[in-house]
């Protein structure tokens, strides 16, 4: 069921209802190969990302540019989403198609708090 792709991502209850009704959180959009987790992470919807993960969304899927949801959240500066996703991502050091890790994307885009958090997380794990 592709309904999750068109849901208003900030409406966590709606997303959860769609997932409980059988919507697949890992369906990709046909243009950029994004999952709804990519969209929610990029836009900073932490609660929606949490619900997606609770319903078997795969945080290790990449978009057509090799970005994990973690990359997009880091690039856009969504610290709470990064804090959530980094715990569920198999390899938080993974690089995207341009050769950037999530931490490097954060640094490149001036998200110093995100960069620092990722560095501290990686050094302790």
Read off the pLDDT of residues 24-61 as tens digits, 9 standing for 90 and up.
999 998 888 899 999 999 999 999 999 999 999 999 99
* Average pLDDT score over the chain: 92
Distance CA 59, CA 61 (A): 6
Distance CA 92, CA 70 (A): 8
pTM of the model: 0.92
Distance CA 107, CA 44 (A): 18
The per-residue b/e assignment along 102-122, b for 16 or more CB within 10 angstroms, e otherwise, is: bbbbbbeeebeebbebbeeee
Domain at 3-124, CATH homologous superfamily = Ankyrin repeat-containing domain (1.25.40.20)
């Amino acid at each position: 069921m592709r309904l999750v792709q068109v849901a208003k991502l900030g409406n966590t209850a709606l997303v959860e209802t769609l997932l409980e009704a059988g919507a697949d959180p890992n369906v990709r959009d046909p243009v950029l190969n994004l999952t709804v987790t990519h969209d929610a992470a990029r836009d900073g919807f932490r609660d929606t990302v949490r619900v997606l993960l609770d319903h078997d969304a795969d945080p290790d899927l990449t978009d057509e540019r090799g970005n994990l949801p973690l990359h997009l959240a880091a690039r856009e500066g969504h610290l709470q989403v990064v804090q959530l996703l980094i715990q569920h991502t198999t390899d938080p050091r993974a690089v995207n198609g341009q050769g950037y890790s999530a931490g490097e994307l954060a640094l490149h885009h001036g998200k110093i708090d995100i960069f620092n958090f990722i560095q501290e997380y990686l050094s302790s794990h």
